[in-house]
Amino acid sequence: MSAERLAIDGGTPVRTEPFTKRKPFGARELELLKEALESQTLFAPESDMVRRFEAAVSELYGVKYAIGTTSGTAALHLAVGALGLNPGDEVITAPITDMGTVIPILFQNGVPVFADTAPGSLAMDPEDVRRKITPRTRAIIVVHLTGNPVEIEPFLEIAREHGLVLIEDCCQAYVTKLRGRYVGTFGHIGCFSMQQSKHATTGDGGFCITNDPVLADKMRLFSDKGWLRKQVSDARVYTTLGLNYRMNGLQAAVGLAQIEKVRAVVERRNELGDRLSSLIRDVPGIRPAEVTPGGEHSYWFYPLITVDWKAAEFAAAVRAEGVPAGAGYIGKPIFLCSEVLYGGRTYGDSNFPFNSPYTDRKYEELYAPGVCPNCEDILEHLVVLSLHEQMRDEEIEDMAAAVRKVAQGLKAKQVTT
């Protein structure tokens, strides 16, 4: 087999030009920021801009309630806070995610339990969720990772069967369709991040969506110190333990401009990502991004699976070709990335809620190597290619050319060694 010499071995790289840098903000953000400042009110409960932002999110998603927050972690904390967990209650979630999915469970004194990914997939396995359910389980948090919609039906069924709340973590999956419907609207609550790298961004920010008035009320209270702002007596009334996670008028101004264009952003990413997949579908030794049947991928990043190689080796060779590529995303299941989890380092030296009468679960067993073997395996084969809506078609073609060249070059080396 004759293959072109790889750049990592001294060959000529596919590309030397830098890729287009994403510029998410423009004139509309400036216009709305000016308007927000001129209103002289940036404080959420009185800000017209926050009200407009939340109305725009509700309309986009066709839901009754949207609540702006300061981050995606905060959005997830609103959702978990609304569950009213007792210490030691369990929430099942995915092992490939950001710590922002897990932190709220711990802060509510709950026990995060991780279900493995399905073999060869980045998506959580519903069968393993079933196996992990105990009488203490209260909710499931599904993560729509990288922008690929999770097949939600089995999780809805499990939630119905066991009376659990289903939370959708959509931080990486804006206006992402499954059978024509946006993820985030299937479960009880959808949570979104507006951190800098997300499809819609305010630098940091986020929001929750729901159609449930009770959950909406609880989330609103949780984000506002538990303060019942309706004047019911001369004294203030705080009904629940909450925090201050209120989005302000500046974030809302940028957020509104971003929400206005997020459909176009995702359509373009979908087009570019699918094009990349079509260009590399026949390349040996790799698998292009998985797209759930009936779904559309919004490509927060482009996940490539290297079947025949470790991701680190493949990614290094792709980078040498002038195409940015990372290996492994978070590297290990999230519970092996966090000392808080595998070391039980929660509150001071207490390990709470572990080693307490509230749970007999042991962090040393829940958060150990081997708990999610499929996840450990797939992360070793996951190459992360960056993709965004402002990229040119020619850049996608160079990405495909680099992937093809590296796969062929590495195959040729295998044959000759």
Ligand X SMILES: Cc1ncc(COP(=O)(O)O)c(C=O)c1O
Task: Specify the stretch interacting with ligand X by CB under 6 A; choose among 69-77, 147-155, 278-286, 313-321.
Answer: 69-77
- Binding of ligand X at residue 80 (CB under 6 A)? no
Least separation in angstroms between CB 75 and ligand X: 7
- Asked whether 113 and 92 are in contact (CB, 8 A), the reply is yes
Q: How far is the CB of 173 from ligand X (least distance, A)?
A: 8
Alpha-carbon distance of 80 to 132, in angstroms, equals 19
Q: Could you tell me the smallest distance in angstroms from the CB atom of residue 394 to ligand X? A: 29
Verify binding: residue 193, ligand X, rule CB under 6 A: yes
**Under the criterion CB under 6 A, does residue 223 sit at the interface with ligand X?**
no
C-alpha Rg value of the chain to the nearest Å: 22
Q: Does 100 bind ligand X (CB under 6 A)?
A: yes
- List 169, 321, 395, 398, residue binding ligand X (CB under 6 A): 169
Instruction: Give the helix/strand (H/E) hosting 385.
Output: strand 382-385
69 binds ligand X (CB under 6 A): no
Residue 195 binding ligand X, by CB under 6 A: yes
**In angstroms, rounded to a whole number, what is the distance separating the alpha carbons of residues 85 and 98?**
21
Asked if residue 66 lies in contact with residue 58, where contact means CB atoms within 8 angstroms, the answer is: yes
Is 258 an interacting residue with respect to ligand X (CB under 6 A)?
Answer: no
Q: Which of 112, 206, 249, 322 binds ligand X (CB under 6 A)?
A: 206
Q: Tokens at residue 203, please?
A: 């630098």
Q: Give the span between the Cα atoms of 288 and 305, in whole angstroms.
A: 6
- Closest approach, Cβ 150 to ligand X, in A, equals 11
The Cα–Cα gap between 133 and 137 comes to 6
CA distances 100 to 94, 264, 283, 319, 344, Å, are 12, 27, 35, 29, 17
Distances (CA, A) of 133 to 91, 153, 156, 193, 359: 9, 17, 14, 27, 14
Of residues 141 and 406, the one with the C-beta less far from ligand X: 141
Min dist. Cβ of residue 164 to ligand X (A):
19
Q: Which residues bind ligand X (CB under 6 A)?
A: 71-73, 97-98, 100-101, 143, 169, 171-172, 193, 195, 206
